Amino acid sequence: MSAVKTLEAVARDRVGKGAARAVRRQGQVPAVVYGGGQPPQSIAIDLIRTRTLIYAGGFKTTLFEINAGGKKTRAIPRDFQLDPVSGVPMHVDFLRVVAGQTVTVEVPVHFHNEDAAPGIKQQGGTLNISLHTLAVEVAPDQIPDGIEIDLTGREIGDVIHVSDVTLPAGVVYTGEATDPIANVVPPTVLGAEVEAEEAAIAEAQSAEAEAEKVEAEAEEAEASEEKKED
């Protein structure tokens, strides 16, 4: 499971768009901590630190101890917004964590030992992944870094369901046990899909090029007519 990480913060008295813009100009990210039966607390966290944490992966499954002016609060990120152009963090929402509470988080699925899967190694099959993450309910201090799946012995046609996976203690999947996570498909299945997609793209590009050619010829003819009239 992930270790609790410390996150330094500054308490904010002012809220609103103007106050948020002022925080960002100072190299910080506006954030709010809510839940736990307490009023929301507005804070500001360092931009570089926040960006590093988000892009390192696993941000939403990390338990933080937020230190704002000497007041420490344990919380987990529930959402964050990025600038659509620059990708810079714009805002973060944290959920307070209280004793006995569980949270629902998306935990990544990690596959191992592809070389030991005959359907992939010897038969040239491909692992077709349906679920890259699993939504699980778990205590905040027991969130696993990932769900590990061993592919040893997997043949073409094998389907891996949630029921085939041993989840860590205290982790409960929120969906159905019969939900498929991945399956090993013959090499021609995905290949045919890729070829069909590439053919569709080529056809669309050809049609677009033809349309541009017709438009250019029409503009040239129009210009020629205008020249004759002059």
pTM of the shown model: 0.69
DSSP 98: -
Report the distance separating Cα 158 and Cα 178, nearest Å. 14
CA dist 103 → 27, 62, 109 (Å) = 31, 12, 18
Q: Give pLDDT tens digits for 163-196.
A: 999 998 899 999 999 999 999 998 875 555 666 7
Q: Give pLDDT tens digits for 139-169.
A: 988 898 899 999 999 999 999 999 999 998 8
Q: What amino acid occupies position 104? A: T
Residue owning tokens 């939403």: 60
Report the distance separating Cα 202 and Cα 210, nearest Å. 12
**How large is the average pLDDT for residues 108-136?**
92
Structure confidence at residue 211 as a pLDDT band (50, 70, 90): confident
